[in-house]
Amino acid sequence: MSTVHEVLGDRRWLVLTGAGVSTDSGIPDYRGPGSPVRTPMTYQDFVRTPVGRQRYWARAHVGWSRMRGAQPNATHHALADLERQGRLTGLITQNVDGLHERAGHRDLIDLHGRIDRVICLQCRELTPRADLHARLSLLNPGYESRVGEVAPDGDVVLDDTADFRVAECRTCGGDLKPDVVFFGENVPKDRVERSYALVGEAEALVVLGSSLQVMSGLRFVRAAHKRGIPIAIINRGTTRGDDLATVKLEAGCAETLAALTGTAAPA
């Protein structure tokens, strides 16, 4: 731990978080130790056919109760405290669960969007996920009582979704999609530019709970390395950025933050 202290010193941090930050809130990750092999729906599969959208929304409807009930954990609260103390220069999260904001974090970039919003692919109107959930419940009475393995995107694994009724956009009748970046979809340009700007001003970069397997997060680690600022990666398991890190710690996020900040470790 002293090595991480020495690397970061008194610098203010830019933080990049991944799925490992939310596992303590009961949301599984994609690539953590012991995680099963998962095949998430791609953007291309979602837009290609009505059957693909039906499959997605059926699974997501059942899983939404679990996702919306998740609570911020010690890591989310610790980062919100660090923000209030002025010890962070920014936070970029690859997570879509909104738990950083619910913990009180104010200045952050939701790189991959938010699962609690829905966007129409035709008219681009944004609406609350809670509204769509209510509509889907009316169209599919009792459907959300089905059970299945919880997946990282807030959905559950269901084998048969052929009887699920999908809701359309109330404004234009278009296809609805969660306001998140699917695999195979590009992160909106403005979010990427804002994130690069934060890296350009950062004194140090701290990566928490991300394997950095996708370029959307790894590119900011590469940019920080190119700038020559210290990079600390805290993650259980190897990451694609390990060779770029000034220091890599294979440990849990909550206990590491507690040790770095001199606060009580989580119970």
Q: Are 217 and 18 contacting, i.e. CB atoms less than 8 angstroms apart?
A: yes
Of the listed 61, 77, 105, 112, which one is catalytic? Answer: 112
Three-state secondary structure call for residue 33: coil
E-strand ranges in 35-142 read: 88-93, 109-110, 113-120, 126-128
Give, in degrees to the nearest 5, the angle at Cα 37 between 35 and 41: 115
Is 112 a residue of the active site? Answer: yes
Three-state secondary structure call for residue 261: helix
Helix intervals (H) in the chain: 2-8, 43-48, 50-69, 74-84, 99-102, 129-139, 189-201, 215-227, 253-261
Active-site residue list: 112
